[in-house]
């Protein structure tokens, strides 16, 4: 064997492990329908102007902006790792305060929905 040749290293049992592919967390179509429905109402009310969707390894984030050049005023996050504890969904304000957290998206989005509700008496 010459100096420039490289001998392949022998395979040793247990060294090669099956690595699970990294799966990004995403919003389902139903979840996006609920979020975009709220977004449309808030745009019509003149409160929100822009949004961004980020799909990360551990969570999905829907950010809401008053203006495109600012920081998001709210972030709607889906973190499946927290599903059994606090709930997979959370609404986080611009200051980092968790406005609401839960296991049902509709109830969590209720913290942002300021539509008029009639109370029957």
Residue 16 has what pLDDT?
Answer: 52
Locate the domains of the chain by residue range: 29-109
Residue 84 has what pLDDT?
Answer: 86
Strands (DSSP E) found in the chain? 50-55, 60-65, 74-78, 89-93, 98-102
Alpha carbon separation from 27 to 24, 43, 93 (Å, rounded): 10, 21, 20
Walk along the chain (121 residues) and give the pLDDT tens digit of each residue.
555 555 555 555 555 555 555 677 889 999 999 999 999 999 998 889 999 999 988 899 999 998 777 789 999 999 988 888 888 999 999 999 999 999 999 999 998 886 555 566 5
End-to-end CA, the chain: 93
Residue 82 has what pLDDT?
Answer: 85
Rounded to two decimals, the pTM is 0.73
Residue 20 has what pLDDT?
Answer: 55
């Amino acid at each position: 064997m010459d100096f420039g040749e490289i001998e392949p290293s022998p395979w040793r049992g247990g060294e090669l492990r099956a690595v699970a592919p990294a799966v990004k967390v995403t919003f389902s179509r139903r979840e996006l329908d609920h979020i975009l429905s709220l977004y449309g109402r808030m745009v019509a009310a003149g409160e929100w102007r822009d949004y961004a969707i980020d799909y990360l390894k551990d969570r999905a984030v829907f950010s809401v902006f008053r203006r495109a050049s600012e920081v998001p005023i709210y972030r709607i996050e889906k973190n499946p790792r927290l599903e059994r504890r606090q709930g997979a969904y959370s609404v986080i304000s611009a200051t980092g305060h968790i406005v609401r957290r839960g296991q049902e998206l509709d109830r969590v989005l209720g913290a942002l929905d300021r539509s008029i509700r009639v109370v029957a008496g």
